[in-house]
Amino acid sequence: MLNELQRITDQLAASLNRAVFVDDRSFRPLAVSAQIGRVDDARVQALLNRSPTEQHLRYFAEYGVTAAREVLRIPGSADHGLLPRVMIPLMAGAHVLARIWLIDVDPPVDEDDIARVVDAAREMRPHLLGHGELTRRNVAAGGEMLRDIQRAGSNRRQALFRQLRDDFEIDDLQHTYLSVVSYRRRRSAEVDRDADAGDARLEEGVVDTFIDLLDLPGAVAYLRGHDIVALVSLDQSAATTLEQIGAAAHRAATLHDVAVHAIGLGGPLGSRDGFGASLQQAEYAANIATRVPDFNGRAGWDDLGEYRLFFAVEWNRTGVASIHRGVASLIDERRMPLAATLLAYLEREGDVNATSTALNIHRTTLYYRIERATVILGQEPTGHAKFAIHAALRLAALAGLITPAQQA
């Protein structure tokens, strides 16, 4: 397939007397002619790294390349080291199989040039169609297997895992993880201010791109609302796996003009019966990643530490009360930011100076609030009680029961 694609590309370049660059839907080079005419930094970086830089990718996305289904002219940019270029999409129905790129200078690309490219694209299509269709079928089949596993009984689940092993090389369940990648649509001027763009369902193409970019035999995924649920099998650490998933997720987000909201990685499946637990852990890790700034939007189950304590607890007042009833009463006290103050104090291990500085209040005010909190708690936040009080306050903060307005 690639040999024929390269032959057609070379012939097209010779007829145009200009360089031709062909890449796939994820912007990875498929065929490149010998260099004829001027070259820019974007072309060099794409060849050296087998992908455009993030800066160039964002620029192309901004000018509508990822959504384009017709010939598109992209202006040059001195700031980005880009010459003007013309992009001609190679389509199969509604699907982009590849993109053909020409530098639009010395001389500019005219209509006759574009007509020649369109003719060459027709010749390229049969060599790309089978590969593209196979990829889409594999992604769809793998996603359907994941859905089936979630609702299957033991015997059916065993058969499905055998199929995952045979079709996608997913066998070592000690190094197989469930991951959840949560996306949100970017708001634009065209989006109604009253519409909740974040809850809009994403297009299925995001999954195709994500799997393309992950570029692993042991990876399958499906789209669930605005989340990608992925099963990934890699003989490496969970941290490295999370990093690889993150890189593919963010690149896919750029290509589809969406934003990564959170990424969570569950613990290893261990066995066929571990699927549900790993998925719940991944969902929980993604939830924690959005609420605890230190995780920066990405967390693995194995890295959650003390936050795993709240996995099986309701994230509401009842859950807080199950850990410490006094804290549940404290968060009901709305006249003063007592709960937020006490949490800040405990987070800083009782350091009065650090807490008063962080909250921008006088030490006297801090002492008064802690005294008032202690009365409502019914005991001092010290000794054996300190752990339960601190944990209950942490849960209240995660659940949004300690509001930002209280954290003066």
* One domain for residues 218 and 323: no
143 part of a folded domain: no
For the cut 60, the answer to whether the pLDDT of residue 108 exceeds it is yes
Structural domain span for residue 20: 2-134
139 part of a folded domain: no
For the cut 50, the answer to whether the pLDDT of residue 89 exceeds it is yes
Tens of pLDDT, residue by residue over 156-211, are: 999 999 999 999 989 899 999 999 999 988 754 344 444 444 444 567 788 988 99
Cβ-count burial 209-223 (b if 16+ within 10 Å, e if not): bbbbbbebebbbbbb
Within 84-215, strands assigned E span 85-92, 95-103, 176-185
CATH of the domain at 332: 1.10.10.2840
Tens of pLDDT, residue by residue over 134-156, are: 777 888 899 999 999 998 888 89
* Cα gap 149→36, rounded to integer Å: 53
* One domain for residues 194 and 54: no
Of residues 400, 294, 406, the one with CA closest to residue 344: 406
Of residues 259, 228, 206, 229, the one with CA closest to residue 26: 206
Mean pLDDT within 374-385: 92
**Structure tokens belonging to residue 281:** 């852990």
Q: Are 24 and 218 spatial neighbours (Cβ–Cβ below 8 Å)?
A: no
Predicted structure pTM score: 0.80
**Structure tokens belonging to residue 308:** 């795993």
Is the four-CA dihedral 43, 44, 49, 50 of positive or negative sign?
positive
Contacts of 52 (CB under 8 A, 6+ apart): 27, 42, 45, 46, 60
* One domain for residues 300 and 334: no
- The SS3 call for residue 282 is helix
For the cut 90, the answer to whether the pLDDT of residue 111 exceeds it is yes
What domain count does the chain have? 3
Is the four-CA dihedral 341, 346, 348, 352 of positive or negative sign?
positive
H helix and E strand count, the chain: 14, 10
366 part of a folded domain: yes
Burial of 261 (C-beta count, 10 Å sphere; 0-12/13-18/19+) = middle
* One domain for residues 234 and 106: no
* Cα gap 137→126, rounded to integer Å: 17
264 part of a folded domain: yes
Per-residue pLDDT at 405: 36
Which residue type, as a one-letter code, is found at position 287?
Answer: N
* One domain for residues 164 and 235: yes
145 part of a folded domain: no
Burial of 377 (C-beta count, 10 Å sphere; 0-12/13-18/19+) = buried
Contacts of 336 (CB under 8 A, 6+ apart): 369, 372
DSSP string, 285-338: HHHHHHH-GGGTTEEEGGG-GGGGGGTTS-SSHHHHHHH-HHHHHHHH--SS-H
Question: What is the C-alpha radius of gyration for the chain, rounded to an integer number of angstroms?
Answer: 27
